[in-house]
Amino acid sequence: MSYESILYEVKGPLGLITLNRPKKHNAVSLGMLDELHHAVDRASADDQVRVIGFTGAGEKSFAAGSDLGEVVDRDLKKALEPIVQGLAEKLERASKVTIAAINGICFGGGLEVALGCDLRLASHNARFATPEGKLGIIPGGGATQRLPRLVGRAWALEMLIMGEPIDADRALHIGLVTRLVEQAELLTELQNMAEHIAEFAPLVPQFMKAMVNYGMEGSSSAGLALEKFAQSALCSTADKAEGLDAFLNKRPPDWQGK
């Protein structure tokens, strides 16, 4: 598949997906969503890729939201299709770690793509908003569910109901992002994070995110039982034996992913 709205490249352990419609502030079109799904599947199937990263072309926008020109033409049936929801869910369920490196504007559907990622870092010029209420609609890509789970009920309602942008410092304060860097260092930081994660046995990040995601959908007791099962499963892997032997013999581990 050739891409018209995104860029895809593999840089060591990082599969980097760039939303590439800078003249439209990287607005998420239906065509872009198809390409994003394809690129995520492509990165997920590549054994070299350990982290799937997202960023926006240019310095002004990660993604300004959904392409409003298309929204006008969507009928009710199309509006109810889980389009962005499906992408965000795919990112949550992906076996590999997903990270959004957010530059500039991150509004609406663009924010919902970022919310589907496991981790979010941002440049100091980043701004975040869910402005759908001003258009007479509500978010349809998961923001009403993911925001409160991430930043708490009060700040989620503040963002959803008021629809006003918050800056990068506020986003860091409420836990929407975990790292702030200078614009020029954003992709370097993303690459460093990917290389750090690649030092772990491949199954470890996969199990970590699964425990958190599935655990938050049930009771704490069910999550703890699942955690103990997952820990036991990892203790029987070849990588566990390799990790212990490498540590005791002070050498780099040779992970096999099994």
Dihedral over Cα of 30, 35, 41, 43: its sign? negative
Q: Half-sphere exposure of residue 115, counting CA atoms within 13 Å on the CB side?
A: 29
What is the DSSP annotation of 160-183?
A: III---EEHHHHHHHTS-SEEE-G
Beta-carbon contacts of 81 under 8 Å, excluding residues fewer than 6 positions away, are none
CA distance 7 to 127: 23
Residues in the chain: 258
Six token digits for residue 206? 């996969």
Catalytic residues: 112, 132
**Residue 114 contacts residue 102 (beta carbons within 8 Å):** yes
d(CA 93, CA 77) in angstroms, rounded, equals 26
* Integer CA distances (angstroms), 248 to 43, 241, 251, 252, in order: 34, 11, 8, 10
